[in-house]
Structures are given as structure tokens and as C-alpha cells.
Amino acid sequence: MATARNWTSDLRIWPAVSRQLGGAVDFMLIIRALILRNVIVRHGENPLGILVEFLRPSVLCLAHYFYFTYTRRAVPGHQYAIFTLGGFSIYFAFVAAFNATFEGGRWPNGATLLAGVTRMHLRMAGVAWSFVIHIIFAFAVIVPLLLLHQDVAFPNLPLTLADFAMAVGLGFGYGLVMSSFGIMFPALVPFLKVTQWAVFITSGVYDSLVTMPRILAQYIWFNPLIHLAEFQRYAYYPGYPTYLVSLTYPLLWAIGLILTGLLMNRALCNRKFR
């Protein structure tokens, strides 16, 4: 009898589980469709159009590499290539996810008119694309550097995936929080978006915690992006010092920002455009 009751209970639970799995699959298919639609809208039918996605980060990294090299900037081990790539690639992933979230999914035009597509779908599609494109960049950029005989190697895959996942998670959560504040205080919207520049200056793109003055480092340490930047440099070069940083700290920040942003977004769901 007990076995029969257990089977009956399992049969009652299964439809609910099946609906949840079906909903998750539908969500992923919508995200995939939106990513493909966005790529088509941006680049049309040009198969080389997607290379434009790599142009801006490549140019900025190249310019800063020469700047750091010729000014003999204090960089651990004088590893200017991995220092530049590690810092800027993480920040680019963060800011791309932030912009996709903060803008509220205004692209592609008319997408929210499609049945079942919400602005959160558009945000998630932007965040997912930011993750994919910057992971590809982190590996693809090594090929020309190797051809130029630079002392670099392909980064550690598990660590790189974790770094960029947390970077876009931070961008997503921060974007949700700032977007919610923008709904509550519309006059602050221009200033809220500019806050990313304060994040940029303290994100570790120009300095390492082990080389900057100790008084400054103890404040810059609180920016979770500098932890990810230092670990991404370590992913490229295992000898890079990481004794001052932690992966747990940015993970907690990402979780906290996402939960706070989702709660704020939920509280404002009855507002216009929610």
C-alpha cells in the first residue's frame, strides 16, 4: 500500500515538473530567437558583420597595450598583453550586460509586440549575447598575439567561464537596480548611467592591487570587478599574483545585485513599461 501511495504521489508531481521544464525550454528558445534576431538586425546578411563586435575591444586593448608598454607602467611580471586583456575584457563584458539591462530591452524595434516576449526576455538575450561574444573574444584574440610571437597562451577555460559569467551577472544585477531607480526617479536617469564610469576607473583596467599604493588599494578592493580582472589575468598567466583577491566576493555581489534588482523590478511591475 505504501508503495502504491508513493507511485500515486509521483504521478501527481510529474505534471507540475513537466510544466516547469517546458517553461524553461520555452524561455531558452525565446532567448535564442531574440539573439539571432538581434544579430540579423545589426549585421543584416553580411557574414563578416559579426566581426564588428570585436573591433572596438580590439582597438582599445591594442591602444592601451602600447600605452602601458611605452610608459613602463607598473604591471606584475611586465606582462602587458595579459594585463590589458584581462582587465578590459572583463569590463567590456560587464558594461555590455549593464547597457542591455539598463536600456530595458529597447532593441530590436517592435520585439515586445511579439506574443509572449517581455522586456525581461530582451534583457536576458542581451546579457547572454554579452557572455558569448566576450568569451569568444577572450580566446580569439590570442591567435594574432601568438602570430606576433607574444608571450601569451589560451586562458584557463573553467576559470574564464566563471569570470565572465560573474562579470555579466554583475552587469545584469547592477542594470536592474539602476533601471528600477530610473523608474522611481526619472530625472536621475542620465546620472545613473554615468555611474558606470566610476565603476570603470576602479575596475582594475589601469592598475593591479599588488602594484597600486596600499592606501588606495584598500578602497579599490571593494569593487568586485577588480577581483575578476585579476583572476582573468591569472587565467592567461598562472604566475600572476592573486593573493589579494577572491572569487567568492564578486559571486556574492552578483547574487545580491540580481536578487535586489529582481525584487525591485517585481515591486515596480505595475508601473508603465513593466
pLDDT digits (tens, 9 = 90+) for 160-175: 999 999 999 999 999 9
pLDDT at position 34 over 90 = no
Residues 41-57 pLDDT 10s: 776 666 666 777 788 88
> Is residue 10 included in any domain, yes or no?
no
Number of domains in the chain: 1
> Which contiguous run of DSSP H or E holds residue 259?
helix 248-267
> Is residue 3 included in any domain, yes or no?
no
Q: Which pTM was predicted? A: 0.84
Cell representation of residue 87: 582587465
Residues 198-221 pLDDT 10s: 888 889 899 899 998 889 899 999
pLDDT at position 10 over 70 = no
> Is residue 158 included in any domain, yes or no?
yes
99's CB contacts (< 8 A; 6+ apart) are 126, 171, 175
Show the domain range for 105: 21-273
> Is residue 36 included in any domain, yes or no?
yes
Give pLDDT, residue 226: 96
> Is residue 6 included in any domain, yes or no?
no
> Is residue 224 included in any domain, yes or no?
yes
Spatial separation of the C-alpha atoms in residues 135 and 112, rounded to whole Å? 28
